[in-house]
Amino acid sequence: MSTAGPKAHYSLVIIGAGPAGLAAAAAAAGHGLDIALLDEQRAPGGQIYRAIESIPAERARLLGSEYRRGEDLVGAIRNSDVEYFPDTQIWSLNREREIGLVHGRSAAMISADQVVLAGGAIERPVPYPGWTLPGVMNAGAGQILLKAQGIVPANGVVLAGSGALLLLLAWQYMRAGVQIKALLDCTPMHNHLRALPYLPRALLARHYLLKGLQYKLDLKRAGISTLQNVSDMQADGEQRVESVSYRHRGRQHTIKTDLLLTHFGVIPHIQLSQAAGCRHYWDKSQQCWRPQVDEWGNSSVNGILIAGDGVGIGGARTAEHAGRLTALEAVRALGRVSQHERDRLARNDRKWMREEQHIRPFLEAFFHLPGKLLAAPADDTVVCRCEEVTAGAIRKAISEGHDDSNQVKFLTRCGMGPCQGRQCAESVTHIVAGATGKSLPEVGLFRVRPPITPLTLEQLGSLFPDETE
């Protein structure tokens, strides 16, 4: 590990040390290239293999066997000539592959001949009444506390939403002895039918289906039942969450809790690929914006490749394969392997990646979120958490003739706070499309400009040391 900051130039810079970035770095190592692996976290592994190097054995056991896979990925980097920089935040990337970063206390601009983005995914932000109350968090946040720090809910927890992570977290909490007060599944019942045509192909990757069924069975045996087809879920409380209310089988219910963890699937974290000017498109099946890439991960911007969940949600194993494929392509572009050699080295990953993808169409249909949840938050529901812009304020702006995302942003400050629209961009697009009848691509996303994360003036000043002397 390097203690000094990154050099001014590398042949290859990989951003993100989760499964895609780690696999990419390992595949690119050993070709005589100058490689830097930059990551925001203090330790490698990304979200999925968080704390993989430091976790106590007992806690790792709670998380299930798949988690252990991260050890080999991280080990390969530790034993390579790749320069790994943790605690490194990226605030800019442009078409010339200039990268703005903060390492330690100071900012720097570096450049690269090839850049692989492996920034992964974020949990899909879905606004509902009360989602800004203290005591309401993402399910992923609960899992991070468990994985990285061995911290669990003290007074029980209500889990709600839709998606595979919700089930996994419930199972992990059950194993950790956490009281699950309710598991509210907001997946619409008719999704079973929607997913049925994709079942035969999913059976080719049946280990995923069996694992899901096993989790459900284990939960049931432990006396934790899942309420299916829940709707109108909301968090209530004055200064913090005190209870959760929801509709189930036509009746209204309320449950007291000091902690609500929700999850509505994951979406690619595209802030950086957007800042770099890469072309993005709306994927109806995954219900998210994705950067356009070819089969080697090349984006629409020359020399910028993207791998893993940052391209589209494929899971940790797909991310590994994609990481290696993009690395091979970058190594080819840098003249270190021939096209023929690249193709030969890529053969297994390409095959395994295809096999991994068998399950995706089924999962995407099964966990397809209803439009009502995405596009129709009530007028008094906060959409932009930073600037506290409600759905009603957004609709008012639309009714005054501002019918694209960026106009709504200018008028309402929606998306202009510290998170720079990460938590509201998608919702705004949905609301504008819903209100105007335009398609999502017509409405478009917020424009993203550097710095994509807040910088202090001190950090900005550190870019120009000569001028401050």
Of residues 315 and 434, the one with the C-beta less far from other proteins: 315
Return the DSSP state at 5: P
Distance of closest approach, residue 26 Cβ to other proteins, in angstroms:
24
Phi-psi region of 165 (alpha: psi -120 to 50; beta: other; left: phi over 0): alpha
Contact pick of 32, 388, 400, 441 for other proteins (by CB under 8 A): 388
Distance of closest approach, residue 60 Cβ to other proteins, in angstroms:
12
Of residues 316 and 333, the one with the C-beta less far from other proteins: 316
By CB under 8 A, which span of 180-188, 223-231, 394-402, 419-427 interacts with other proteins? Answer: 419-427
Can you list the positions of beta strands (E) in 332-421?
Answer: 382-384, 389-390
By CB under 8 A, which span of 18-26, 54-62, 283-291, 354-362 interacts with other proteins? Answer: 54-62
Q: How many CA atoms lie within 13 A of 21 on its CB side?
A: 33
Spatial distance between the Cα atoms of 402 and 396, rounded to a whole number of angstroms: 9
Phi-psi region of 433 (alpha: psi -120 to 50; beta: other; left: phi over 0): alpha
Draw the binding track, 107-126, toward other proteins (x: CB under 8 A; -: no contact). ---------------xx-x-
Draw the binding track, 71-110, toward other proteins (x: CB under 8 A; -: no contact). ----------------------------------------
Q: Is 145 in the site for other proteins (CB under 8 A)?
A: yes
| Angle of CA points 273, 309, 175, to nearest 5° | 140
Spatial distance between the Cα atoms of 123 and 40, rounded to a whole number of angstroms: 17
426, 466 Cβ separation under 8 angstroms = no
Of residues 135 and 370, the one with the C-beta less far from other proteins: 135
Contact pick of 24, 52, 136, 391 for other proteins (by CB under 8 A): 136
Distance of closest approach, residue 124 Cβ to other proteins, in angstroms:
11
405, 428 Cβ separation under 8 angstroms = yes
Spatial distance between the Cα atoms of 363 and 382, rounded to a whole number of angstroms: 29
Spatial distance between the Cα atoms of 378 and 369, rounded to a whole number of angstroms: 17
Angle subtended by helix axes 405-412 and 391-399, to nearest 10? 110
Distance of closest approach, residue 217 Cβ to other proteins, in angstroms:
24
Q: Is 140 in the site for other proteins (CB under 8 A)?
A: yes
Contact pick of 1, 109, 154, 222 for other proteins (by CB under 8 A): 154
Please name the residues in contact with 219: beta carbons below 8 A apart, sequence gap of 6 or more.
167, 170, 171, 174, 180, 183, 225, 226
Q: Looking only at residues 261 through 280 of this chain, which bind other proteins when binding is defined by CB under 8 A? A: 269
Q: Looking only at residues 333 through 372 of this chain, which bind other proteins when binding is defined by CB under 8 A? A: none
By CB under 8 A, which span of 18-26, 91-99, 152-160, 316-324 interacts with other proteins? Answer: 152-160
Q: What is the number of other CB atoms lying within 10 angstroms of the CB of residue 348? A: 11
Distance of closest approach, residue 357 Cβ to other proteins, in angstroms:
25
Distance of CA 150 to the CA centre of its chain: 22
Contact pick of 5, 75, 150, 461 for other proteins (by CB under 8 A): 150
Spatial distance between the Cα atoms of 90 and 271, rounded to a whole number of angstroms: 10
Binding site for other proteins (CB under 8 A): 40, 42, 47, 54, 56, 59, 122-123, 125, 132, 134-138, 140-141, 144-145, 148-155, 176, 239-240, 258-259, 269, 385-388, 417-419, 422-423, 454
